Amino acid sequence: MMRHYKNGGTYPEFILKWVEEYGPVLVCHVMHKTMVFTVDQEAVKELLVNGNHPKSEFVYGRLSNLFGNRFVGKGLLTETDHAVWSERRSLYNAAFHRGYLMHLMPVFNTTSDVLVEKLKSVADTGNVISMASELSKATLDIIGKVAFDLDINSLRDLKQPFPKAMFTVLTGFDTKVKNLFSEYNPKFWAAGLEIGSAIKLLRQSAKDSLDHRTEMLRNDEPVPNDILTHMAKMADMMPALHKEKLIDDYVTFFLAGHDTTANLMSFFLIELGRHPDIADKLYAEIDDMVGKKESITYTELNQLEYLNMCLKETLRLYPPAAVTFRDTRDEIKICGYDIPKGTICAVSPFASARLEENFPDPLDFNPERFRPTAQFRPKIYGYFPFSIGPRTCIGQTFAQIEAKVVLVKLLQNFTFQLDSSQNFGLAESTTLKPRGGAMCSVILR
């Protein structure tokens, strides 16, 4: 496994290769730990939906701290105590509900316009740019503004302290995931100090934001109806909710909600570049349904059926969060094998959705699989890019609105020509991303 990783392979590709070779369940020993990987439908159902198995402490505990500093701590993504998580999750659900997010459509629109304006300045110059990098900055700015009324401005100036700190921390995550012992290795200590300062800055800025919004609410000042307001109200109503945990959640929303959506859009543009026939259909749908309209409504987004199909197909082949881990709560059976209590079990939306038995011709990019009138129906436990069961992605609707608004605006204004140097392989840090960075030249329509 480590050899595969060192040769540039990714974890989910490794799982897929092995289940194709050995069958739907396999066991692997990582240091002193035993891990079970499975793509078996019944096992996915048991692990993610029915069994209330907690997230794996060995895996998610490692993500809580970076180089000795509390980063996402026990935020919503990394909390492994099911009861503690469940209470907090139910408090947050309302803030991520479609009805709540619909009111934020104007902010989704205006923040996406910044990317369009930036791309206009490079369009038709023949310069090749990394759309993965631009989209990563755009999603950071969008989540900052939409969720927390924060002007991060990374698209305009990446050297600002907040975006600089966020990207430093993401690099730190990458280092930790790829080098199991990096935190104990003197070679990484200088980087660790830098990462520590970046974390302090991010957590302090989260605390300042929360305090400021709480103050505004107490003074009856007008506030945006965003996720930060929801958090500040929660803090006021529930004094027992520790401030550090709210800060954990604040940084978690940035971490979980930023590169995931950027990567989805990068893969999407790559696949459009490789399939001009699909791109033509998509341009036609957008021209017909939205035209050159500048502010896109939620209702209009829902009418874009082909866009939705293309997004689903992109998520099938390239789910940005490609593996999830549970510790078995009790002894369970997987494909007839007894799996003891406390075993780490991994399931992968990437591996499951690339199996011939779940999707015929699985490596073909074919949005028609998801046409609502198609006879083919994906198996529930074979397609779960936002996970499934109680720990499903809370930001799913947020991500879908965001990706659709940004992509509609991009396709209204530009065509994207993939550069011949584009590498179609996969890369992995905390999320699955295009190895080549979605290198494109941008042409005004």
Binding-site residue ranges: 393
Q: Find the binder of ligand HEM among 386, 401, 415, 432 (CB under 6 A).
A: 386
- Phi, then psi, of 156 in degrees rounded to 5: -90, -40
SS3 call for 27: strand
Least separation in angstroms between residue 158's CB and ligand HEM is: 21
Q: Are the C-beta atoms of residues 257 and 143 closer than 8 Å to each other?
A: yes
Cβ proximity to ligand HEM: between 19 and 432 the closer is 432
User: 133 to 192, contacts with ligand HEM by CB under 6 A?
Assistant: 143
SS3 call for 151: coil
Q: Find the binder of ligand HEM among 175, 205, 261, 308 (CB under 6 A).
A: 261
Q: Find the binder of ligand HEM among 264, 272, 418, 442 (CB under 6 A).
A: 264
Q: Which amino acid belongs to residue 299? A: T
> Token digits for 146?
């939409």
Residue 436 binds ligand HEM, judged by CB under 6 A: no
Residue 432 binds ligand HEM, judged by CB under 6 A: no
Closest by CA position to 335, among listed 59, 49, 47:
47
Beta bridge pairs of residue 261: none
Least separation in angstroms between residue 227's CB and ligand HEM is: 8
Q: How far is the CA of 84 from the CAs of 71, 80, 330, 367, in angstroms?
A: 19, 8, 19, 39
Residue 399 binds ligand HEM, judged by CB under 6 A: yes
Cβ proximity to ligand HEM: between 352 and 441 the closer is 352
Residue 76 binds ligand HEM, judged by CB under 6 A: yes
Least separation in angstroms between residue 119's CB and ligand HEM is: 21
Q: Find the binder of ligand HEM among 77, 210, 406, 408 (CB under 6 A).
A: 77
Q: Are the C-beta atoms of residues 358 and 20 closer than 8 Å to each other?
A: no
DSSP result, 120-139: HHHTTS--EEEHHHHHHHHH
Which region, judged by CB under 6 A, interacts with ligand HEM, from 217-225, 297-305, 384-392, 410-418? 384-392
How far apart are the C-alpha atoms of 233 and 246, rounded to whole Å? Answer: 11
Which residues sit in the known binding site for heme? 393
Q: Find the binder of ligand HEM among 394, 410, 440, 442 (CB under 6 A).
A: 394
Cβ proximity to ligand HEM: between 400 and 441 the closer is 400
Sheet containing strand 439-444, edge to edge, reads 128-130, 439-444, 414-418
Residue 387 binds ligand HEM, judged by CB under 6 A: yes
Residue 253 binds ligand HEM, judged by CB under 6 A: yes
User: 81 to 100, contacts with ligand HEM by CB under 6 A?
Assistant: 89
SS3 call for 395: coil
- Residues 6 or more apart whose CB falls under 8 angstroms from that of 264 comprise 311, 314, 315, 318, 320, 399, 403
Residue 196 binds ligand HEM, judged by CB under 6 A: no
Least separation in angstroms between residue 194's CB and ligand HEM is: 26
Q: In which residue are the tokens 């104990």 written?
A: 184
Number of residues that bind ligand HEM (CB under 6 A): 24
How far apart are the C-alpha atoms of 60 and 27, rounded to whole Å? Answer: 20
User: 309 to 338, contacts with ligand HEM by CB under 6 A?
Assistant: 319-321, 324
Least separation in angstroms between residue 244's CB and ligand HEM is: 17
Q: Are the C-beta atoms of residues 36 and 343 closer than 8 Å to each other?
A: yes
How far apart are the C-alpha atoms of 146 and 144, rounded to whole Å? Answer: 6
- Which residues of this protein are in contact with ligand HEM, per CB under 6 A? 76-77, 89, 143, 252-253, 256-257, 260-261, 264, 319-321, 324, 385-387, 391, 393-395, 398-399
